[in-house]
């Protein structure tokens, strides 16, 4: 009887292990060779030791039966730490920059698809992996591109697939070729808006972004006011928030004045908070502590907790030695009030610590 129970237990363990995703300890070259022999693809889990979502996927999603059954049937699965050994070479070759990233490779090592970020469920993850075999996957579209297909609609589909697969460098190159073939009127229309609204394809300071800022009214006519104002407003928000965070310390008061006039010229709908950012930066630059407090009372009580976490502290600490005792008490009371309205425990704790420990020393 004991022998039967032991045998049955071993069978259950074997079935459980087989059901989960089977990651093999192979070099990438050997994994590609094995995949070729078995008529499969290669699946690469790109992780780091410090990545929380990577650990979540390893513990909660990849071991699921529905995930393992599909993965083991379709792929030779391997995993590499992107900061160690062969993982470093893989990270550079496939330009992995976010974690987790899951690569789907052809047997020749070419990238067919990339899944970036964690998935909440096994069903969601499998669906995202299966996108590798869609007709509009980056890998399949690459074949058409290499054959010489330069139809504009095809190229836009290919660009979107490349962005999805995190091949931003190639997507950017092709998008530049597309835009170079367009007239000014065509550039400002819906089919090509994707290029301008995507910060990977049109990063801040790029020719694309400058073109958008110089042709806002034309884009509004061709794409719609709400879409265009949202992107332009986001550009200003990124720049102004970086100043508030202390990431751009070379900005002068004159620069801020120019940014304010430029912002005003666009008449953005629903972006009044950007004017408050401008005013707050000016107040900090001129060391007008009374105005800083007034603007803090206006801006931060209605701000998202995530933004509070990285925008709240630097402007205050920048003015160390400029605060009166009365002002520090006012800031402390405001900080505690905001902390009381925040649901995130870590952010709440940071605010309370700032009010009770840091502020009195300023």
pLDDT at residue 19, as a whole number = 59
pLDDT at residue 237, as a whole number = 95
Rg (CA), the chain: 26
Catalytic: 51? Answer: yes
User: For 333-362, what is each residue's pLDDT tens digit?
Assistant: 999 999 999 999 999 999 999 999 999 999
pLDDT at residue 17, as a whole number = 42
pLDDT at residue 121, as a whole number = 94
Q: Is the pLDDT of residue 3 over 90?
A: no
Percent of the chain beyond pLDDT 70? 95
pLDDT at residue 44, as a whole number = 97
Give the 3-state DSSP-derived string for the chain, with helices as H, strands as E and coil as C.
CHHHHHHHHHHHHHHHHHHCCCECCCCHHHHHHHHHHHCCEEEEEEECCCCHHHHHHHHHHCCCHHHHHHHHHHEEEEEEECCCHHHHHHHHHCCCCCCCEEEEECCCCCEEEEEECCCCCHHHHHHHHHHHHCCCCHHHHHHHHHCCCCCHHHHHHHHHHHHHCCCHHHHHHHHHHHHHCCCHHHHCCHHHHHHHHCCCCCCCCCHHHHHHHHCHHHHHHHHCHHHHHHHHHHHHHHHHHHHHCCCCCCCCHHHHHHHHHHHHHHCCCCCCHHHHHHHHHHHHHCCCHHHHHHHHHHHHHHCCHHHHHHHCHHHHHHCCCCCCHHHHHHHHHHHHHHHHHCCCHHHHHHHHHHHHHHHHHC
Q: How many helices (H) and strands (E) does the chain have?
A: 21, 4
Q: Burial of 277 by CB count in 10 Å (0-12 exposed, 13-18 middle, 19+ buried)?
A: buried
pLDDT at residue 74, as a whole number = 95
Output the pTM of the full model: 0.75
Q: Is the pLDDT of residue 14 over 60?
A: no
Instruction: Give mean pLDDT, residues 123-143.
Output: 89
Percent of the chain beyond pLDDT 90? 80
Instruction: Give mean pLDDT, residues 82-110.
Output: 93
pLDDT at residue 12, as a whole number = 37
pLDDT mean across residues, the chain? 91
Q: Between residues 11 and 277, which one has the greater pLDDT?
A: 277
Name the CATH superfamily housing domain 11-133: Glutaredoxin (3.40.30.10)
Residue 167 φ/ψ region, left for φ over 0, alpha for ψ in the -120 to 50 degree band, beta for the rest: beta
Catalytic: 77? Answer: no
Instruction: Give mean pLDDT, residues 313-333.
Output: 96
pLDDT at residue 327, as a whole number = 96
pLDDT at residue 319, as a whole number = 96
Q: Give the range among 14-28, 102-116, 346-360 with minimum mean pLDDT.
A: 14-28
Q: Between residues 189 and 205, which one has the greater pLDDT?
A: 189
Q: Give the range among 15-24, 25-34, 157-166, 201-210 with minimum mean pLDDT.
A: 15-24
- Give 219's pLDDT tier (boundaries 50, 70, 90): very high
pLDDT at residue 137, as a whole number = 84
Q: Is the pLDDT of residue 312 over 50?
A: yes
Q: Burial of 285 by CB count in 10 Å (0-12 exposed, 13-18 middle, 19+ buried)?
A: middle
Structural domain spans, the chain? 11-133, 134-222
Active-site pick, 46, 51, 166, 188: 51
Instruction: Give mean pLDDT, residues 170-182.
Output: 93
């Amino acid at each position: 009887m004991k022998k039967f129970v032991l045998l049955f237990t071993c069978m259950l363990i074997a079935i459980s292990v087989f059901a989960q995703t089977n990651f093999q300890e192979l070099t990438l070259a050997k994994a590609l060779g094995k995949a070729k022999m078995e008529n499969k693809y290669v699946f690469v889990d790109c992780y780091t030791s410090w990545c929380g979502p990577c650990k979540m996927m390893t513990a909660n999603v990849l071991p699921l039966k529905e995930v393992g059954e599909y993965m083991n049937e379709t792929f030779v699965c391997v995993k590499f730490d992107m900061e160690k050994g062969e993982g470093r070479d893989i990270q550079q070759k496939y330009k992995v920059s976010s974690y987790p990233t899951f690569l789907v490779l052809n047997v020749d090592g070419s990238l067919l698809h990339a899944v970036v970020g964690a998935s909440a469920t096994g069903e969601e993850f499998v669906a995202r992996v299966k996108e590798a075999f869609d007709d509009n996957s980056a890998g399949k579209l690459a074949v058409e591109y290499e054959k010489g297909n330069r139809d504009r609609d095809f190229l836009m589909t290919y660009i979107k697939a490349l962005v999805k697969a995190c091949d931003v460098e190639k997507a950017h190159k092709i998008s530049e070729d597309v835009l170079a073939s367009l007239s000014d009127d065509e550039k400002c229309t819906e089919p090509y808006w994707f290029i301008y609204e995507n910060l990977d394809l049109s990063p801040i300071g790029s020719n694309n972004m400058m073109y958008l800022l110089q042709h806002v009214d034309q884009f509004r006519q061709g794409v719609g006011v709400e879409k265009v104002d949202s992107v332009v407003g986001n550009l200003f928000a990124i720049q102004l928030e970086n100043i508030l965070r202390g990431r751009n310390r070379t900005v002068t008061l004159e620069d801020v004045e120019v940014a304010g006039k430029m912002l005003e010229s666009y008449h953005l709908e629903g972006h009044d908070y950007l004017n408050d950012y401008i005013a707050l930066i000016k107040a900090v630059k001129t060391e007008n502590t009374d105005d800083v407090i007034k603007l803090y009372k206006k801006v931060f009580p209605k701000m998202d907790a995530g933004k509070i976490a990285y925008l709240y502290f630097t402007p205050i600490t920048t003015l160390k030695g400029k605060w009166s005792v009365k002002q520090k008490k006012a800031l402390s009371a405001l900080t505690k009030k905001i902390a009381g309205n925040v649901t995130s425990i870590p952010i709440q704790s940071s605010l309370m610590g700032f009010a009770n420990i840091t502020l009195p020393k300023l």
